[in-house]
Amino acid sequence: MRLRFINRRKTEGMSLMMSRCAVFLIGMVLMVSWIVPGCAQKQSEAQKPGTSSEQDQKPEAPPALEDMRADMAAIISELETKVKRQKMSSLQQKTELVSEEELQQGGTQQKSGQEQQGDWQKEESSLKKIHLKWNILEPEAMRAGLNPTSRNNFEKALNELTEAIGQHKLEESIFAAINLYKYYSDVAEVFETPVPPALFRVKYETMKAAAEAGRGNWQTAQQHSVKIQEEWEGLKTKAQEVEKNLTNRTEFSIFDFKQAVESQQLVLVMIKSEIVMRNLQELEKKF
């Protein structure tokens, strides 16, 4: 049977773009190591700046708050697995030799590969848990002072994630999960938690900036990189009370990441964003 090498010149540009996007998404997802099991249940002296009376008015965070974040992390983990498979499939398509018969069956084989990547049961299971935990948490959050706008924002973000996962759209699901994380910090704000919600917002802005850079939306990425610094200013003083050296290290990594975004070098953005996320993760453990 005569073999020939697949001519992919027409799709080389698109394949390269998909490959770079897949590499970026892997880096982005790997840096999303948000969860420290049981951290919401631990007590800490570190609290959000404010008057003593304001702090005393905040109820202790219920277990559903941390459980919900764990389910969010589970979804991210599963999406990461799919990104890895997508990248591997893309690399194989660039180098494999196929027979003419196999070329004719290419559409069927591609469909089969997509079906193998189409098992979304774990994401759907974690998503259902988020909905259940949110139903438990929602009235407590409203009683604790969550304003209707924040409540609606979280609900909308959760619905968007549900739609993206329901349609098995990988990139959309990742971005929706990042957006949900943003509004999670607003919910956490009304409770007494060991980790200041500002830290969650710094994480969100970092992930969002990196994600937009991965899409080539550099102007939007720069806007979010500026917001990182703004959110960091609200966290830095409290962080210095916990660990001064780590706080300084985190501040430098944020500055380096902002410069990377301004340089519009995707690989550099991936590296610097991961360093920021690692520092924030260590800082979270200190709290």
- 22 found inside a domain: no
Lowest pLDDT segment from 9-23, 119-133, 190-204: 9-23
Q: Is 99 strand, coil or helix?
A: strand
- 51 found inside a domain: no
Provide DSSP, 102-130.
HHHTHHHHHHHHHHHTT--HHHHHHHHHH
- 213 found inside a domain: yes
Q: Is the pLDDT of residue 85 over 90?
A: no
Radius of gyration of the chain (CA): 21
Q: Mind listing the pLDDT tens digit for each residue in 39-82?
A: 433 434 444 444 444 446 899 999 999 999 889 989 988 887 88
Q: What single letter denotes the amino acid at residue 41?
A: Q
Q: Mind listing the pLDDT tens digit for each residue in 233-267?
A: 989 988 988 889 999 999 999 999 999 999 999 99
Q: What is the pLDDT of residue 41?
A: 39
Q: Which residues contact 183 (CB under 8 A, 6 or more apart)?
A: 150, 153, 154, 157
Q: What is the pLDDT of residue 111?
A: 45
Q: The domain spanning residue 210 has which CATH number?
A: 1.20.120.290
Q: What average pLDDT score do residues 198-221 get?
A: 93
37 alpha-carbon distance from chain centroid = 17
Q: Sorting pLDDT into bands at 50, 70 and 90, what band is 157?
A: very high
Alpha helices in 120-196 (DSSP H): 121-144, 148-166, 170-188
- 230 found inside a domain: yes
Q: For residue 59, what are its two tokens?
A: 């109820």
Q: What average pLDDT score do residues 151-159 get?
A: 96
- 252 found inside a domain: yes
Q: Is the pLDDT of residue 186 over 50?
A: yes
* Count of structural domains, the chain: 1
Q: What is the pLDDT of residue 76?
A: 81
- 239 found inside a domain: yes
The CA distance from 248 to 112, in Å, is: 50
Q: What is the pLDDT of residue 56?
A: 60
Q: Is the pLDDT of residue 155 over 80?
A: yes
Q: What single letter denotes the amino acid at residue 54?
A: E
The CA distance from 281 to 214, in Å, is: 22
SS3 content of the chain, % helix, strand, coil (to 5): 80, 5, 20
Q: Mind listing the pLDDT tens digit for each residue in 112-140?
A: 444 444 789 999 999 999 999 999 999 99
Q: 7 — phi, psi (to 5°)?
A: -90, 110
Q: For residue 175, what are its two tokens?
A: 């971005």
Domain that holds residue 233: 194-287
Q: What average pLDDT score do residues 176-188 get?
A: 93
Q: Sorting pLDDT into bands at 50, 70 and 90, what band is 25?
A: low
Q: Sorting pLDDT into bands at 50, 70 and 90, what band is 3?
A: very low
Q: What is the pLDDT of residue 160?
A: 97
Q: What is the pLDDT of residue 44?
A: 41
- 243 found inside a domain: yes
The CA distance from 1 to 101, in Å, is: 9
Among residues 79, 78, 75, which one has the least CA distance to residue 25? 79
- 224 found inside a domain: yes
Q: Sorting pLDDT into bands at 50, 70 and 90, what band is 176?
A: very high
Q: What is the pLDDT of residue 90?
A: 62
The CA distance from 115 to 77, in Å, is: 19
Q: What is the pLDDT of residue 79?
A: 87
